[in-house]
Structure 1
């Protein structure tokens, strides 16, 4: 009965007395989803139904099925991925999810990246190797033009010997047990091309002069000749964390044939199945490079390069490998990397999207990690998905969605949030709020492992996750954070971007800078991109309170200008800000100039770019580029800015982004300078602010908002309360009063219309306080390994200090009960402050559920009319999994039972001599109600 009562506020969000303070409608997509790990696909229809009903009960809106490695010694119960039996249990999953009103996505691989036993060696990912020689006139090459691939074996089974294995690897037995990550066999790999370059700039293709034994039948003519040969080998990357039936080679992401052949296997598997309820397919981050070396070649590379860049790469191989002049090296490298980016976008994302849409499904993609302009890859997905804990990194996915009008932006949330078993729901909320700041509005927890009903505690687990599992003591209280996410996402999904600045992503500069390998892999704004100016700019814009999205070269081509506004599909911007860069594509410079002529404001930091990017048709492009630059007549202003009128618009150059923005009337949101974090969005003619106090101290005061309105409404997504806010008009916008505890967040709606309804109540503590000092009856109601005895205590403290061994190993829930008299006086509201709690608390007064508290503040406002002359207070406190897990490790009790990774530790101090997770050295973590528990009189802030 308690569960149902707590869920009711979520189900009835739309029932309000005034429409102005209604929460938006709830759908399965406004609720959070979870990545649903299927270990070895060891699932049953009965077990799947039971699991889904548990997920539904705590407020999850859907699952993403991802098949991974199996459990040791349970091979008889494995179901091979995409086999007829697997398809049957998947159909059952879809049917039951439909019955429960929950959504379903499917990872388009068992593990990641795309790959499997049906991927032929021809379709597998490749790498390029080079070899060079020098010959003088009259000399012949005595060495054979061959390249022997060095053997390579990276596997979890350290006793494996490469010589005992068959090629291709997936033909071997014990694939789950051995879990090979990367493998290369020692043998010659095929020659792609042999080129000769003379000191007189002569170039010869000698490939057809190499016989089948690698002998070059050629004598060097006059001059000195450098010979360079390219060879193509199998990269050897195997699908990571694959389940049975999914082990095998990773596909060549640069090949249409490879992805088409790969997806055809799914067509065959689902040919006679009903998967109509499936929403879409998912791809985890690229991660082909998560191995030795990288996949950087494809058999048709020379033709694809010629088609896109307009010249023959074979004539410039020394520059590709950094053996020519610095400028030529930079330009050829840029063109090569851009070609790789094009191939991933067209051959992989384009083909995958077409296939999925043909089957009436969407695609959800994690683009980060790919050696491509990930802004464009995110655009190619129906739902772009991010991961990470840095807001600029998250904004790559949300920017792509904002510019193209996509409703949903997903995130892999709480991956490696903390060490195993010590993450609490307060930590989870902080991670989620960072996602919201980054523009995410479709949370996917990482994640929940399917566990059979009879599985011993702690059930199935995943190696790199916060364990969102029914075995976790705070599972029942998980409903509170899910209600919170649902309420916030109900606003964020219904609204659209309202950012002022478009920040150009100068990827040509990154492509032009050499690195340790041929490719760069794009994952946020780290140092590995070679763009420190952009990273610094992105962080400072956030810190100063400016709202922005990133934009790529190709996305920029789709912009329009009208009335001075820069228009994307579903968003308007005030300016385009170009970070300091050396190179820029000619088409980008032409478009920026055209936008300015149409009325846009284009802002360059430090200087205009120096040159066009790349090598192809360089002389002609550079001439046109110079003409554009020369047509921009910059003149000094009194603001340390050079400005030029260009048509109806302006182009400006300055060292300070703040001065540039101020010069063009772009104002920051000052609540950032007040220590508050926010995201701003539009919902019809109203503006929505999600505001989060991520600080360790409370905030109370007026905040100035840049969007003007007559009145505001305030929504508290943790409690479900809403009401009309206090407003003061300002010259620039709207000032609203807010009061936020540490880690608390609210939604502020600014409206041009007069909103009516009850005023939103903010409370502040008065001096009157009453500590509850009567005895507490403590009973342990759920958990294990056994339930400690009920007792009465006079002083609150962690139950791990009560000198009883059973309490040190207990993970679960304890009920604390006491009685108290209603405080004297006429106070209308009281705050119940639980003090220190480990980790979640359910508050029940006189038998009525009042709140679920997850921290870091454990307080709840109580109206006086809820109290009687004599009152019963019950606080149900749940601790972490940690103490029971530590006890199991200390006593050598088996729970680490997985093939593949078993189990990794996030922190070095928690690794045993084998490098795996071990909690045996942990001391018992504080648990339970520590207090002091007080009733504090509160007054509404006037």
Structure 2
């Protein structure tokens, strides 16, 4: 393929400003590179160029800034009568479709990324057994008393015997620490031989094997083994057989980035040359200790497992992350990756990437999202993305724009600056509404009736993403990830840092920090050594017992320079690993004792629940609210002459509280993230936030010229009740009188209707009512729902709130578009559009796609599964039911006297 002349990516980098005046000049029209993107699922792939071009146009209309092309499992059998043809992955036809989509996407001004594979994780038919995920297989064979022979285990394709041990006991019960190496198993014709002994014995084989994991959800032609991420040969194989053909299809316009989903190489804990690499990296031979590592028995097991798991991290970095990043740069693109999971990549493993990505809306507990954003903050990447809305409000087609905002705001407060929507299903033109869906995801395409407000949703997401890239990150508290302790508790078949860290970084710990008025970053020992702690006034160390002396030396210098440390529970007392453990442990104990003796600069608490009080004593909250501190979250960006605070009510109840800032500047302004409009504000503003509403507070050294004077209003009063007397027009029908507002589902005629209906009504106002007032249309406050706890990844996150407007609306007054409504408060200022006398008000309301889905039978995939196997199960189909729709009321005209 044609390569870029430069070694670095050729696409333009986002512009990062350091002064608020420059930032403010782009608020009305933020840069296009901050627009949300969509993961574009190509099912089969059975795609057709005309439909690809059509969907690209719909994305552009919705304000979507780019796509990530991902080929996944087929949804239909080849059918010439319908024009359905599954194009085998990497076939000439498939690659031609990729080329076409790239060209059309570029013409429309969209960024185009591509997943470097089909389904996930990377793998496919080109991955032979020798390049598949490596996994140690341990086989214990009983040798009865007096026996001289036993049946040796069968070694299959892709396997080799790494070591054999013998000792007293049985296969079910033996002391692994007392096993002795068997120089040769003397196995011939499947039988092993030993000298006879009076007592029973066990022979234990350590066989380098394969997990056998297959690519999940593959496209036609993408089936096969998942590759070994610790093997350079496997990675080179994948780049040659998948990467090169894919990028060749892009020609001289390479993708902005190539993408890898999270590391889900289940069972991975070994690779072919592991013993040699271990010897080189750790300085001793692991072979004699295999029984301890794989049994977990004995006092040395944690230290040995630490070294074994750490070696896996280094192999993933050296053989996967570094080579793929270098390969991407040589091809004029970038590597974007969700770098966590199995094998055990670390926070600092992200440093080898161009673009860092997380996932998960768990903003008040450990999350992969904060893992990625922390790495971005530490290693200087202003753009950090998140796979957003995965499993949002299950089942599919029930997610509303409000649900989207509720989760996106939780991403933003974790430091995300680029939304990657999950996602946009390609849908053939003859598919019944509401179109295709991924088995485990919401749908955010033009098949959703509410897509008419997608430009406004995208505008909000774009403006916030743009703001949160500016200046520098400014979280004040760092939490040291106890990686060395986590390595030590890893176990065979499940080696992962990210999966074990929640046992150390508990929800209580995160909540104590956030409820103290702070936000937080994670940092790991590697980053302490490479980057340092200078940007963080406070470091929290939760039950860190294993820590290298050189890291403790950095902590000593940090405290010497004025940094404050709060330890929780146990403190450093052990060498991280096995080699020279006794000597290094003594060093750790001496260094830790010296550090802990630093008086007021180092504070110790016993439990996570004591952290908040200790933190407040050391560093008062960055943002403090007079009420509802635990329902409001924020993130701050620091500029040369200003601070930008994104503040979100992440709850389903309204919040009214005054805000105080630990480091106020001379002037303040409130920014509406929906419009980009600025209004002057006191330095301690009163925040009145509806459920799931957000605001941006800008603290600056000089007054912002773009900020309008604050509008002071008196109490609101109802000028007219508009809850009756509407004319409602559904598509293809005449207007129908609706004397009392009710859900569309209350009528048999519209129970299963998904679409848009227009409410019309004449509203009369007097000159006196308009004079000196701000007049708004108010569509009701809605009802908070009991918190179901569905806020975590893969559990159906949604806004726990039932609005009185379901689910989005465009309001027109006297023929002029007055605005859109898609999240609380469902109130719209219509003052500029009203006139004394009669006014014609029209409200075009859109609901959810699920109502149509609920009114018909789901497709039968029996023949598809007979042909291709069962590659997916649609989630939560038993929960499919029509949802309330339309204006539910009350609707009022509200006036506020301008003071």
TM-score by structure 1 length?
0.82
| 1: CA distance, partners of 2:583 / 2:643 | 47
**Is the counterpart of residue 318 in structure 1 residue 276 in structure 2?**
no
| 2: CA distance, partners of 1:590 / 1:348 | 31
Name the structure 2 match of 1:845: 813
| 1: CA distance, partners of 2:518 / 2:385 | 23
* Equivalent position SS for 1:695: coil
Name the structure 2 match of 1:809: 752
> Map of 1:467-506 to 2, 5 A cutoff?
467-506=443-482
Contact 2:545 2:570 in 1 (8 A): no
> Map of 1:207-356 to 2, 5 A cutoff?
208-211=184-187, 213-219=189-195, 227-265=203-241, 266-268=243-245, 270-271=247-248, 274-289=251-266, 294-322=267-295, 324-325=297-298, 327-356=299-328
Distance 1:761 1:34, change over 3 A: farther
Name the structure 1 match of 2:623: 669
Name the structure 2 match of 1:30: 34
Name the structure 1 match of 2:787: none
* Gaps in structure 1 of 5+ consecutive residues: 1-13, 150-186, 561-565, 636-641, 644-649, 728-734, 782-786, 912-917
Decide which moves more: 250-259 or 459-468: 459-468
* Among candidates 570, 574, 587, match of residue 611 of structure 1: 574
Q: CA deviation at 1:295?
A: 2.2
> Map of 1:451-850 to 2, 5 A cutoff?
451-513=427-489, 517-523=492-498, 528-529=500-501, 531-532=503-504, 534-560=506-532, 566-567=533-534, 572-597=535-560, 599-632=562-595, 634=597, 642-643=599-600, 650-655=601-606, 656-665=610-619, 667-671=621-625, 673=629, 675-727=631-683, 735-756=684-705, 757-761=707-711, 765-772=715-722, 775-781=725-731, 787-802=732-747, 805-823=748-766, 824-825=768-769, 826-835=771-780, 836-850=804-818
| 1: CA distance, partners of 2:96 / 2:397 | 34
Name the structure 2 match of 1:170: none
Distance 1:725 1:930, change over 3 A: same
| 1: CA distance, partners of 2:428 / 2:399 | 24
| 2: CA distance, partners of 1:423 / 1:748 | 29
* Equivalent position SS for 2:140: strand
Distance 1:596 1:694, change over 3 A: closer
* Equivalent position SS for 2:392: coil
* Among candidates 146, 150, 154, match of residue 153 of structure 2: 146
Contact 2:765 2:836 in 1 (8 A): yes
Name the structure 2 match of 1:878: 846
Name the structure 2 match of 1:183: none
| 1: CA distance, partners of 2:140 / 2:553 | 40
**CA RMSD, 1 decimal:** 3.1
> Map of 1:191-202 to 2, 5 A cutoff?
191-196=161-166
| 2: CA distance, partners of 1:609 / 1:504 | 12
* Equivalent position SS for 2:295: coil
Distance 1:675 1:120, change over 3 A: closer
| 2: CA distance, partners of 1:377 / 1:627 | 30
* Equivalent position SS for 1:820: strand
* Gaps in structure 2 of 5+ consecutive residues: 1-16, 169-174, 781-803
Q: Deviations over 1:629-681 (max 9, x none)?
A: 3544727xxxxxx54xxxxxx54434443454345445452136274221111
| 1: CA distance, partners of 2:361 / 2:597 | 40
Name the structure 1 match of 2:792: none
Contact 1:379 1:400 in 2 (8 A): yes
Q: Deviations over 1:115-137 (max 9, x none)?
A: 0111111111122111235779x
Q: Deviations over 1:480-537 (max 9, x none)?
A: 211110111110122321011211000222222366x44343446xxx5473464431
Q: CA deviation at 1:202?
A: 8.8
Q: CA deviation at 1:408?
A: 1.1
Q: CA deviation at 1:275?
A: 4.9
Q: CA deviation at 1:700?
A: 3.5
| 1: CA distance, partners of 2:596 / 2:845 | 69
Q: CA deviation at 1:85?
A: 2.4
Contact 2:450 2:846 in 1 (8 A): yes
Distance 1:288 1:893, change over 3 A: closer
| 2: CA distance, partners of 1:122 / 1:847 | 69
Q: CA deviation at 1:324?
A: 3.4
TM-score by structure 2 length?
0.86
Aligned residues: 832
Distance 1:549 1:774, change over 3 A: closer
**Is the counterpart of residue 125 in structure 1 residue 125 in structure 2?**
no
**Is the counterpart of residue 926 in structure 1 residue 884 in structure 2?**
yes
Distance 1:869 1:500, change over 3 A: same
Contact 1:796 1:931 in 2 (8 A): yes
